[in-house]
Copies of this chain bind each other. A is one copy, B any other.
Amino acid sequence: MGVPTESAGSLTDLFAPRRVAVVGATDREGSVGRAIVENLAPFGGEVVGVNPSRESVLGVDCVDSLAEAGDPDVAVVAVPPDAAVEAVRTAGEVGIGSVVVITAGFGETGSEGVARERDLREIAAEYELDLVGPNSLGVIGTGTGFNATFGPDAPLEGSISFLSQSGAFVTSVVDWARDRGLGFRNVVSLGNKAVLDEVDFVREFDEDPETDVIVGYLEGIDDGRGFIEAARACETPIVLVKSGRTDAGARAASSHTGAIAGSDRAYEAGLEQAGVLRAQTVQELFDAAETLAGQPLPEGDGVAVVTNAGGPGVMATDAVGDSRLSLSSFSEETTSRLREAMPDAASVHNPIDVIGDADVSRFRDALAAATADPNVGMATVIAAPTAVLSFDALAETILAIREETGVPIVACLMGGESARIASGALSEAGVPAHFDPARAIEGLDALDEYREIGSREYDDPMSFDVNRERAREVLDRATERGDNRIGVEATDLLDAYGIPTPEGAVVESPGEAERVARGVEGDVVMKIVSPDILHKSDIGGVRVGVADGEVADAYEDLVARARNYQSDATVLGVQVQELVDTEEGVETIVGMTRDPQFGPLLLFGLGGIFVEVLEDTAFRVGPVSEREAREMVGEIDAAPLLRGARGREPVDEAGIVEAIGRLSQFVTDFPEIVELDINPLVATPDGVCAIDLQLTVEP
């Protein structure tokens, strides 16, 4: 929705051009070119056809080439693939800034198509073209009656702007929404997204003052981080279906679009962090969109339920229980007001049961009292058909009270034809109406979720004074020896980024080993340090719990074992470290995998069975803010174990959060790290300590 400004969005020509050229205009029955010309008939601006063999098509004048088309704002291209590429080049040459490529046969087909799409991308870059598609159904801007698609219908005018990676889904939705009385503002079928993608259209729709909600269907997001930034900056609610959620769905999506689907965990985390409402199904998508498009934001999460039927009132209450919402407790004043207005048999508590003989005026009294209560943020009205109730009159009453009070209301008219007709009237006036009380409550839930999102502050990623150069050197050293895994350097890396490790040092003599061991409390752990020995434990190269008096002997023994294993092994020394009692603290895991779309995907969980058996994990796309790191720690099921469950002292949660932040900074600084695990990071009441680090670098 954005703040209305003088400057229109940067892609305005695509949705509200003054003049449009249709390359491939024709009157051939069943052709795409014809459908586009027909769909442009109601358009308020000028239309010119480009077709060298015709003077006019269905009343639209034609020219031989785009170069002669008289300076259109947008060219819609619907000719065979090679000709389409040429048309786009001509558009660039003659200074047409926006192009919609309907033509298919590009990246979604074989290698020839992929090459052709690359050409298209290069031409677009050369001429700085705003290019939609290829393989797009087209674009629609209802403000000017502009419908440059080959779909069968034009949408009603409304305030939902819609972007879709499936053209057929656009057709379906537009047709279905017409029948329901639901309108759209702008619609774009993204096609192959050779140039413009979801990031561009989220920005564009947000700049449009007539757009109240952005709805999307996506099978993939190419630039995850860019999308997060665009969505966070967007002041309009965004509701998305990102399909390919499940393994089977992801396979279907990638065979359909030719793109790699990416991990749904990353999408789930990234969309949440972006402040996007993610819908799982088409129904959820439009239930949420319709509620967000027509309703003001609630002032609180309390819901009032007004019903003439007890059973459906209970169902609505269950749905409230399933949601993030709460059932409002009415003030004393509201209750007495209701008691005065209602018959004795009515229930004046929430849900308000106005009982079966209620006419519209009793519904009005109840709804007016409920919406005036300070504990009520939103309301739902549920009506079963009775002899004394007119659904039409009830719809009018609901609209009037919504207008007077500014409280969001969703309706459930639980009947047949007359309920359907009254529901349509409510829907057109911006009040969603359903048969199922659960769907009404889910719509309100989306509204409340956006209330929270809209008030979010997106903090900067956590940032610490670290020794990036030192880490660079250590990683380079590993890369130089052709090793993509890090062994003993782990400690150096953790030190460089300020993540606590056990006390100790790498030493090169038995005496030095004894000195280090004396400096730390209790027994020590000793490990051979050699680039030639990967699996230290296998050759007995690790000694746990060495007491003070045995340190020198242990040193000699470890070196001897290394020589025994490989006589010419380079031995850099022995690492002597404090033995951390992992029993005393809680073992946690902080990890990262690099997602192709979103970049570093950070993981937090408790060690051992919690991650491995119970899969009790939290994910965020990095780099993370302190709030996000705190959320990760708080949202695992086992979080109470960190917070003093079962009589234990709480561990240093702030220390865990800081370790996540430092790790997030580390993996952001070094994109060549593709996988990393600190396992365990032991957390005690006094702090945290990284016992082991594994990482994989992709050179």
A residues at B contact (CB < 8 Å): 30, 35, 109, 152-153, 164-169, 171-173, 175-180, 217, 219, 241, 243-249, 251-253, 255-257, 280-283, 308-315, 317-322, 326-327, 345, 347, 349, 351, 353, 356, 384-388, 414-417, 419-420, 435-439, 608-609, 612-614, 616, 637-638, 640-641, 645-646
Contact = CB atoms under 8 A, between A and B. Distances in A.
A243 B315 contact: yes
A246 B180 CA distance: 32
A385 B167 CA distance: 11
B30 A388 contact: yes
Contact of A309 (B35, B166, B386): B166
A125 to B, nearest CB: 28
B309 A169 contact: yes
A646 B608 contact: yes
B280 A438 contact: yes
B241 A315 contact: yes
Nearest to A303: B248
Contacts of A180: 416
From A255, A281, A322, A609, residue with most partner B Cβ within 10 Å: A281
B614 A257 contact: no
Nearest to A418: B175
Contact of A439 (B245, B283, B386): B283
A246 B315 contact: no
Nearest to A319: B281
Contacts of A30: 387-388
A46 B415 CA distance: 30
Contacts of A640: 613
Contacts of A326: 248
Nearest to A104: B345
A251 B313 CA distance: 11
7 contacts: A152-B386, A153-B385, A175-B385, A249-B318, A251-B317, A282-B438, A613-B640
Nearest to A165: B311
Contacts of A438: 280-283
Contacts of A248: 317-318, 320-321, 326-327
Nearest to A152: B385
A38 B433 CA distance: 31
Nearest to A249: B318
Contacts of A175: 385, 414-416, 419
Contacts of A315: 241, 243, 249, 281-282
A285 to B, nearest CB: 9
A180 B66 CA distance: 51
Closest A-B pairs by Cβ, 7 of them:
A246-B321, A166-B311, A168-B309, A179-B416, A249-B318, A172-B414, A168-B384
From A255, A318, A437, residue with most partner B Cβ within 10 Å: A318
B312 A169 contact: yes
A688 to B, nearest CB: 20
A420 B420 CA distance: 13
Contacts of A388: 30
Contacts of A420: 179
Nearest to A261: B314
A658 to B, nearest CB: 25
A569 to B, nearest CB: 30
From A178, A243, A320, A326, residue with most partner B Cβ within 10 Å: A243
A270 to B, nearest CB: 18
A609 B283 contact: no
From A177, A315, A638, residue with most partner B Cβ within 10 Å: A315
A489 to B, nearest CB: 28
A311 to B, nearest CB: 2
A256 B249 CA distance: 43
A608 B309 CA distance: 45
Given A281-B438, A436-B281, A243 B166 contact: no
Contact of A314 (B177, B252, B327): B252
A176 B416 contact: yes
Contacts of A311: 164-166, 168-169, 217, 219, 243, 256
A609 B646 contact: yes
From A164, A252, A326, A353, residue with most partner B Cβ within 10 Å: A252
Contact of A245 (B255, B321, B641): B321
A122 to B, nearest CB: 26
A317 B179 contact: no
Nearest to A29: B387
Given A176-B415, A613-B640, A249 B321 contact: yes
A609 to B, nearest CB: 6
